[in-house]
Every structure is written in structure tokens, then in C-alpha cells.
Amino acid sequence: MAEIDGIRQQLVDVQTQLAYQEDTVRELNEALSRQQQEILVLRRQLQLLKQRQDEQGTGPATAGPLEEKPPHY
């Protein structure tokens, strides 16, 4: 009888661990999904900034104020 109780306790322990792992996987999946959405938003913002920069003619090919030396040099 003690052997059955030991096996039963082991089964409960395994089921408990599985429940925690399932919860962790769900939380990680949700975090990954949020990060992916944020990446998509950031990519779109970067595209819009590049488009705006290109429209203003201050693309990487033209010299902008960042390439000029400050007056104290």
C-alpha cells in the first residue's frame, strides 16, 4: 500500500510540474507575441523616418549638419 501511495505522490508531483511548465510556456508565448508586435511597430516607424529623411533631401549621400565641425574646433 505504501508503494501505491509513493507512486500516487510522484504522479501528483509530475502533474504539478507539468502545470507550472504549461503556464510558463503560455507566458513566454504571450511575451514573444508582444515583442513581435513591438518590432513590427518599430520597423514601420523606422521606415517612416527614413522616408521623411529622404523627402527632406538629407539622406546619407548629402552632407548634413552632423558632418560639420562645431564652432569650438
Q: Which domain holds residue 43?
A: 24-55
| pLDDT tens-digit readout, 52-71 | 999 998 655 555 556 677 78
Q: 11 in a domain, yes or no?
A: no
- What is the C-alpha R_g of the chain? 29
| pLDDT tens-digit readout, 22-50 | 999 999 999 999 999 999 999 999 999 99
Q: What does pTM read for this prediction?
A: 0.60
With beta carbons less than 8 A apart as the criterion, state whether 20 and 14 touch. no
Q: 73 in a domain, yes or no?
A: no
Q: 44 in a domain, yes or no?
A: yes
Q: 68 in a domain, yes or no?
A: no
Task: Report in angstroms the alpha-carbon separations of 8 from 15, 22, 23.
Answer: 11, 21, 23
Tell me what pLDDT residue 69 has. 77
Q: 50 in a domain, yes or no?
A: yes
Tell me what pLDDT residue 66 has. 63
